[in-house]
Chain A
Amino acid sequence: MLEHLHRRSFLASFGLAASGLALGIVPRNAHGGAAEWQPSVFIHIAQTSLVTLVCHRSEMGQGIRSSLAHLLADELGANIDQVKLLQADGDPVYGDQNTDGSSSIRKRYTELRRLAAAVRVLLTQAAAKTLRVSAKSLTVADGIVSHPASGRSLPFGELIDAARKLHPIDPAKAELLPRSALRYIGAPALRSLDAPAYVTGAAIYGADVRPSGLWIAVIARPPVVGSTVRTYDDTKALAVPGVRAVVRMPDPQPPYAFKPWGGIAILADNTWAALRGRDALILEWSSSVHDTYDSTAFRSTLREAAQKPGTVRRTRGDLEAALAQADKVFEREYYVPHLPHVPMEPPTATAIYREGRVEIWASTQNPQAVQKAVAELLGIHAAAVTVHVTFLGGGFGRKSKADFATEAAYLAKHTGSPVRVQWTREDDIQHDYYNTVSYQHLTAGLDMDGRVTAWRHRTVFPPIRSVFDASANMPSPSDLQQGLLDLALDVEHIRVETGAAPAHVRIGWLRSVYNIFHAFATNVFIDELAAETGADPVATLLGVIGPPRILSLEDLGIGALGNYGASLEEHPVDAGRLRAVVERCAELCRWTRQRKRGRALGIAAHRSFLAYVAVVIALQQREGRIHIDEAWVVVDAGLIVNPDQARAQMEGALVFGLSHALFGGVTFREGRAEQSNFHDLRLLRIGDAPRRVHIELVESEAPPAGIGEPGVPPVAPALSNAYFAMTGVRLREFPMAKAFGFDR
C-alpha cells in the first residue's frame, strides 16, 4: 500500500490555491468516499452525475486530453459537457505514461474503450436492477440510463450506489458500441477542452506553479560535454540582491541518462536575480575529451564511414552482383546536422523535498521516468516521489528526459527550500539531447529502362543508446525500424548497412527521430533518380514503392521488425497504403497539370509510426526570395479519433519540418554549441509559412496509427524536391536557407 501526502494539506501549507491549477491533479487512491464511485483509475462518477475522466498522458499540444476524454465519454455514454478532466500524476497504475512515439491513442484505443464500455455496462446493469427491467431494454446517452418503454430514466449519479455493489466486469469482455452509435470518435470538430484556459492565460505550465518560499535556480552549465567546474568565484553572484544560495551541481558521469547536468546553480527569490547572479559568476571549466568536437570535422568522419562497407542490417538478393550488372550506377550522399527540440517553453521543474519524500511539478512527457530518476539520484523509493504533470509548452521529445526534474529535486533536497529550476533559452539550445547528426550514402543500380534493380543504403549516426550506454556507437534494430528496415522497395537486390559513430553530445529522440534524415535521403534520392532517368517524380516514386502489397519480413529482407511496438498483423508494411497517399496527394495538388504550367512542385512520402503520409510543396519566387507558397498533405493513419486535432498536427508538422530544413540545427566548434538563441537558431515565422495548406485525412477503419510525428519526415525532402523543380539545383543537406534567399 502506497503512502502519500494528501494533496489538500500540501497545497494549503504551500499556498497553492486548488482552483489555480487548471489541470486539477488527481493523486493516487484519492477516495472520494461514498459520494464518488471509481470503477477505474480513468473514470470516476460522482453522486451529482459529474463524470471525471483522468488523462494519463501529457498534454503538449497534440490535444491528447481532449481526444482521450471524448473517446472515454463516447463509449461511456456521457456528454462531454458534463465531464471534468483531471491530469494523472505519475503512477504505474495508469500503465505506460511516456507520451512519446505517437502512441497514446494507438496503443490504448481498444483497451480504453473497453474500460469505458465495462463501466457503461455496470451502470446499465445497476439501472436494470433498480428499475426491474432487462438490461437490453435500456439505452444510455448524455449520462442518463433510460427505459424508453416506460419513459423512466436514471442519471449516472443515482446509479453509483447500486453499481458499486455489482460484480465487476472484465473489460476484455465488454461489448463496444457500434460505429454508428459513436458521436465523438471520428467527428470532424471535437471541442478543444483546454482552449479557454490557453487563451486567457489560465493554463498552468511548468514555471507557473508557485509554492510559497520558492527559490528559482538558474544553472551555469558545462560548455562542453564532460567538462566540470575547475574553480569558481561566487562573491559577485551572492552580492546580487535576491540571490539566496550558490550550489555546485553533481558532475555527471557517462552514461548521462537523465542525470543533472553539472555546473553551478544560482538560487534566488526571483528569476531576474538568479539570471543576474549567474551572469556575475566567475567560472573556470576543466578540459574534456569532447573539446575537439567540431561539426565540420565530424561530418568528414561520418562521411568516411558512410563510404565504407558497414554492418549489414537488411539484405535481399545479391547486391554486389546486381550493381556489377547494372546499366548505370548512381550514388548520392546526404547530411543532416544535429537538430534541437526548442519547445517554446524551455525545460523547467519545481520540487519540494520533505522528510525523504519529494513532490514535483514538471512539464514532463514521462512522469514515471521522473519518479525513477529522482529516486535513483536521491537514494529513495520511486513511490516516495510524487510527480504532478502540468501543461507542456511543447515537448517534441525533449521533455521525456527527466534531467531537468532531477536537477530541481537535487536542489530542493540540498537547500531545504522549494526550488524551481528554470532553463533559459540558451541552456535549451546549448545543452539539448539533440536529434543525432547523420550522413547517408545511397547507391542505386539502374537497368536500361531506368528501373532500380539494386539499392544500397549506408547510414552513419551516433545512436540514442549512447546516453544509456557510453560505449554505444551503432544503431540498434529499433533505431533502424525508422525508415530503413520498413521502407517499401520494389527492388530485387537491397542492402542496408550501418557504420559506427561515437556521440560527443547527449543524443535524444526528437519528433519522428531517425525518420527525419532517412526519409530525407530516400525521398530526395528517388527524386534524383527520376531526374536522372527523365521520368516524372511521382511515377518514379510509385515505381520504387512498387505494386500494392503487404511486405513480409522476407520481402523486406529482414529477420524481425520492431514496428513501433505493434504487431505486423495489425499494422503491416502496406505498400498499397503508401501508394494511395502518394496518388491522392498528386491528384489533390493537380500535379501533372500544375507542373505543365511551370509550377515548382516537390513530392515525398513516408511510413512512420504506422501511418502513411505524402506531402507536396509548391514554391514561388517573389521579391528576391523563394517562398513556400502552398502545401498538400495526405495522411492515412487508420481510424482517427479526433480529425481536427490530426489536421492541426499535420499543419504543425509542416512548419516544424520546414524550420529544420531551412534553418538547420546546432553546430559545434571546440566542443561548444555555436548557436544560442533565435537569432542564430532560427524558426519559421508566420510570414514564411505557407499561407495555403490542404490537409486530407484518408477515411479508414484500420487500427489507429500515430499522428503526432508522421507529418514531419516527408516535409524536408518535398521542399528539396520542389527546389530542384524550380532551379535544377539539388539540396542534399540542412540548412537550405541561403538557397531560398535568406541571408544566413
Chain B
Amino acid sequence: MRSRLEPRSACLAAPWIAVLLGCEPSPSVAPDLPPETIEIPPSDLLPKEAFAGIGDPVVRSAAQFLEATRVLLHPRCLNCHPAGDTPLQGDFGFVHEPPVVRGPEDRGVVGMTCDGCHQDDNVPLANVPGAPNWHLAPISMAWVGKSPAEICEQLKDPLRNGGKSLAEIVEHAESDELVAWGWAPGRGRSKAPGDQKRFGDLLRAWVEDGATCPTDGEHP
C-alpha cells in the first residue's frame, strides 16, 4: 500500500506533483525522479507525465501499462472481469448476492439478467450500482487471478479482446460509459484510482510508445 510522503519533500519531486499536492511553487530546476520511487495515495494514479523521464520507449511503454493495471486490478473493474461464471461484489471478491450467472451472452439468464436490477445509473437510496450496458466482460477477458503481464498480452490479442485494434482499446478505455462507472460507483463503494482521463492517457501513451508488456512478475 502506497503512503503519502511528507508534503515538502514530495513537492520537490516534480512540478506536476507540486500542482497535485497544491504545494508552493517549487524551484525551477527539480530532479526527475524515477516513477517507482514516487509514492502517492492508493486512490490516485500517476499521470503519463511521470514516466517522461524514462528514455527507452520499450521500458516507458511497459511502465505506463503497469501503472494502468492499478485500475484494471481494482475491485470496481475486477468484479466484472471474473474468471468464472459469476460476478464478484465489494472490495474482497465476494460472490455476487443474489446469485447470478453469466448466461449465454454475458448478461445473465432469464429472470436474473443484469439489467433486471442494474439500471443505466447508480440507483439513489438503493445499493444497486448502475451504468449503461451493464454486463460481464466475456470470459476471454477475465482478469481475476491474472498478472499485469498476462493481462497485457490478453488485451493485445484480437482473439481475446473482442477483435479490437489497439486504438479501439484506447478509445474504449477513454470513453466507454461502463468503464467510466469505475470512478463514479455510488455510495459506499471505493473508486478506481485516479480518473478516466488519466487512465485513458496512460493507455494511449502505452500504445504510442509501442504497446510493450511488463515482464512476468512485475506488479505496480
Question: Which A residues are closer than 8 A to B by beta carbons?
Answer: 275-276, 279, 677-679, 682, 685, 687, 743-744
Contacts and interface: CB of A to CB of B under 8 A. Distances in A.
A279 B187 CA distance: 13
A272 to B, nearest CB: 9
Contacts of A677: 127
Contacts, number: 17
A467 to B, nearest CB: 31
A279 B125 contact: yes
A685 B98 CA distance: 9
B94 A744 contact: yes
Contacts of A687: 99
Contact of B99 (A275, A279, A685, A744): A685
Contacts of A743: 94-95
Contacts of B124: 276, 279
A275 B123 CA distance: 13
A279 B125 CA distance: 8
A678 B99 CA distance: 12
A150 B97 CA distance: 70
Nearest to A687: B99
B95 A275 contact: no
B127 A679 contact: yes
Nearest to A676: B127
A282 to B, nearest CB: 16
B122 to A, nearest CB: 14
Contacts of A679: 97, 127
Contacts of A276: 124-125
Interface residues of B: mostly helix, strand, loop or mixed? loop
17 contacts: A275-B125, A276-B124, A276-B125, A279-B124, A279-B125, A677-B127, A678-B97, A678-B98, A679-B97, A679-B127, A682-B97, A685-B98, A685-B99, A687-B99, A743-B94, A743-B95, A744-B94
Interface of B: 94-95, 97-99, 124-125, 127
Interface residues of A: mostly helix, strand, loop or mixed? loop
A236 to B, nearest CB: 14
Nearest to A278: B125
A281 to B, nearest CB: 13
Contacts of A275: 125
Question: Which of B97, B98, B124, B127: most chain A Cβ within 10 A?
Answer: B97
Nearest to B97: A679
Contacts of A678: 97-98
B96 to A, nearest CB: 10
A270 to B, nearest CB: 14
Contacts of B98: 678, 685
A678 B127 CA distance: 11
A276 B126 CA distance: 11
Given A279-B124, A743-B95, 15 more contacts: A275-B125, A276-B124, A276-B125, A279-B125, A677-B127, A678-B97, A678-B98, A679-B97, A679-B127, A682-B97, A685-B98, A685-B99, A687-B99, A743-B94, A744-B94
Nearest to A275: B125
A551 to B, nearest CB: 46
Contacts of B99: 685, 687
B102 to A, nearest CB: 15
A343 to B, nearest CB: 19
A407 B97 CA distance: 33
Contacts of B97: 678-679, 682
A681 to B, nearest CB: 11
B133 to A, nearest CB: 24
Contacts of A279: 124-125
A678 B126 CA distance: 12
A687 B127 CA distance: 23
A737 to B, nearest CB: 11
A581 to B, nearest CB: 34
A275 B125 CA distance: 8
A119 B94 CA distance: 63
The 6 A-B residue pairs whose C-beta atoms are closest, nearest first, are: A679-B97, A743-B94, A743-B95, A279-B125, A744-B94, A275-B125
Nearest to B95: A743
A273 to B, nearest CB: 11
Contacts of B127: 677, 679
B116 to A, nearest CB: 15
A40 to B, nearest CB: 48
A679 B94 CA distance: 11
Contacts of B125: 275-276, 279
A679 B124 CA distance: 17
A65 B99 CA distance: 35
A266 to B, nearest CB: 13
Contacts of B94: 743-744
A351 B99 CA distance: 39
A376 B146 CA distance: 65
B7 to A, nearest CB: 33
A335 B169 CA distance: 54
B73 to A, nearest CB: 20
A279 B97 CA distance: 24
A581 B186 CA distance: 54
Nearest to A276: B125
A687 B111 CA distance: 14
A679 B98 CA distance: 8
Nearest to A680: B97
A276 B124 CA distance: 9
A553 B94 CA distance: 52
Nearest to B96: A679
A685 B99 CA distance: 9
A687 B101 CA distance: 12
Nearest to A744: B94
A279 B124 CA distance: 10
A259 B159 CA distance: 66
A160 B97 CA distance: 60
A744 B97 CA distance: 11
Nearest to A677: B127
